[in-house]
Amino acid sequence: MKNKLIKAISNKLFYILLISFFINGSILKAESEGKIEDILINEYNMSILSVDQNDQSLSIITAVKILNKSESPFVPNFSDVAKTGMNFIRFSLPEGFYDLYVETDLPSGNLIEMPNGFALTSDIPSGGFNLIFSYYVNYNSSKFNFPLHFPHGAESFKIIIPEESGIIKGEKLYFDKNIEISSKRFNEYTGIEYSNGEYLNLEMENIPSSFLKKISTSLNFQIINLIVIIIMVNIIILFFGIKYFKNIRKKNA
């Protein structure tokens, strides 16, 4: 009887220790994972490589330096957004972007593309990492609006555009200097200290466009058809008018 009692107590102690191990283990695991607040964007460098006046498109590449200031890795959570919020790293892109390409030295993961940006499923270990992404976007007329969002803030922001390709405006953004890259001149604009969730509200104005493109965008198809019809009618009238006067001359002769 005594042995059974000792065995029962030992079993209970075993289960208590086992439960305690899993509870403490989960607590330790939770404490060992970094938080989204530990992720910082040290540098956000955006370059408008080219302006295609015929297609009215911009070629853009962005280089970002990411820092996990915690000693523990950050593990994104996509399963319970309602409770935890957007507990994953993400980046803002202009509406209508296309041909997105992303390269990073973060551990392997997937890319989740959204209408106004993308998110990464990669874990982010402690320390600094690099991310480069490029894409194309179309602009209307001579202006391009991009409500650039910094979900994780940004300690510094830079954007360069080819010289004589327009001017840049944005929150806490100012013209810095002219630079030269591979014999091509660019204008550089700089901003600092953007807090989490802040918007830059980037605007690019006075973008050059071709003369034919200006005409085609300013006129709709109905007006163009009307102009073509009027020109054709005038040509027909002129043709028969010339023929009529020629016949009169022949008769008089």
- Report domain extents, the chain: 1-32, 36-209, 219-252
Determine the pLDDT at residue 6.
Answer: 43
Judge whether 188 and 176 are in contact, CB under 8 Å. Answer: yes
Determine the pLDDT at residue 156.
Answer: 96
Separation of first and last alpha carbons in the chain: 146
Fold topology of 36-209: Immunoglobulin-like (2.60.40)
Pairing outcome for strands 117-120 and 111-114: antiparallel
153 phi, psi to nearest 5 deg? 70, -175
Determine the pLDDT at residue 141.
Answer: 77
Report the distance separating Cα 83 and Cα 81, nearest Å: 5
Report the distance separating Cα 7 and Cα 2, nearest Å: 9
Determine the pLDDT at residue 130.
Answer: 96
**Which residue type, as a one-letter code, is found at position 154?**
A
Q: What percent of the chain has pLDDT over 70?
A: 72
Over the stretch 121-170, which tens digit does the pLDDT of each residue have? 889 999 999 999 999 999 887 889 999 999 999 999 999 999 988 999 99
Token reading at 201 = 């509200």
Judge whether 70 and 34 are in contact, CB under 8 Å. Answer: yes
Report the distance separating Cα 201 and Cα 206, nearest Å: 17
Entry pTM:
0.68
Judge whether 190 and 161 are in contact, CB under 8 Å. Answer: no
Judge whether 185 and 162 are in contact, CB under 8 Å. Answer: yes
pLDDT below 50 — which residues of the chain? Answer: 1-31, 211-217
